[in-house]
Amino acid sequence: MKILVLNAGSSSQKSCFYDLTENLSPEQPAKPLWEARVDWTHHQGFAKVEVETRQGRGWQEEIQTHSRPAIITHLLHTLTDEKNRVIEKLTEIDVVGHRVVHGGETYRESIPITATVKATIARLTALAPAHNPASLEGIEAIEAVLPTVPQVAVFDTAFHSHMPQAAALYPGPYEWFEQGIRRYGFHGISHQYCANRTAQILGKALPALKLITCHLGNGCSLAAISQGRSIDTTMGFTPLDGLMMGSRSGSVDPGILIHLLRQKTYTADQLDQMLNQASGLKGISGISSDMRQVSEAAATGNNRAKLALDMYIHRLRSGIGAMLTSLGGLDALVFTAGVGENSALIRAAACEAFAFLGLKLDAEKNQQRPIDQDIATTDSAIRVVVVHTQEDWAIAQECWKLMQT
């Protein structure tokens, strides 16, 4: 089965092409035959495109356009061009999978895309204005080039959609819940993939494990996973809730926003920009939203960078503690995404707080850039696992499963 995956973000896009023809049970991660990345922020009015094939062929280019559909069409044709051909013709593609950030309360699992599904994704744009429209553009671009090829929507919110109401609802008026205001959670594709991969690494059945998965990138979230399901998470109605992040504040006292609206005459748009783009590591350090740069500055004595790092660690430990109470125990603490996979400092600081539970981190393993490895000591009461998250592969797996039915 030949599967194309489109993972659209607000300012970037990643695309992958997998051929599972020889793999009738795709459980272990497979390397894509072709990968493409698009960055819309590199040069105003241009799309920076990078393409790489498994054979090592690759190239970069900048294309003057604001049109996402035009770029998707261009990328599709790189699959079949003479110089870097991956397939003979585009009609060989059996299915196209799309990451869709928000499925609301309507979609609790992946689903084949129909006109009704598209209309619902469009309606949910109000809950994910920076992401759902990008996914829709990708869906419609594929329809224009490959009108008969089935497409699948894989929702970031779906994995968290079965959380108990005590965890999912906010303690405001009950009418909020009736209006669809609830904790949806995000990074669900990553959390679900990492839970499954952790079970494989540990040689355990996923339903038997109690896990806390820490997705720590520019956006950060935790999930408490029991019997293979998310029962609690830190992100909420929007991806702004929860942990301190690269440029997002995470949870703050809502009274602060009321104060700023009343006393400083901020507009809703100004508050949105402040909380999403000028807070977190960036807002406190005054340096960057990039953990690497903040850590380097802190190590050289920059007090604001040190404060940002300390706050990040404090919030992370507090979040892990909250997830522990939801689980009532823990078999493994899992780190993933850019910071989680690459920062030995953050992993060590997070684990240090839970030594009283018998968690023992192997310091040498932690420093060796581990990927898909257990880095706890042999006598640790809790395993510590670093997983390279592969959302695109998880989307391909969902497509494969749906096409079997």
Active-site residue set: 156
By CB atoms closer than 10 A (0-12, 13-18, 19+), residue 205 is exposed
Which residues does 188 contact at the CB level (< 8 Å), separation at least 6?
155, 156, 157, 158, 159, 160, 223, 230
The CA distance from 344 to 393, in Å, is 25
- Amino acid identity of residue 142, one-letter, is I
Q: Is the dihedral of CA 281, 285, 287, 293 positive or negative?
A: negative
Query: What's the Rg (C-alpha) of the chain?
Result: 21
Q: Which phi and psi angles does 275 have, rounded to 5°?
A: -75, -35
Decide: 217 and 252 in contact? Cβ < 8 Å.
no
CA angle 287, 292, 294 (to 5 degrees): 30
CA angle 225, 231, 234 (to 5 degrees): 90
DSSP characters over 237-283: SSTTSSS--SS---S--HHHHHHHHHHS---HHHHHHHHHHSSHHHH
Decide: 190 and 214 in contact? Cβ < 8 Å.
no
Decide: 72 and 142 in contact? Cβ < 8 Å.
yes
Please compute, for residue 65, the number of CA atoms within 13 A of its CA located in the half-sphere on the CB side: 16
CB count in 10 Å sphere of residue 265 = 8
Of 318, 375, 307, the C-alpha closest to 347 is: 375
Distance of CA 254 to the CA centre of its chain: 25
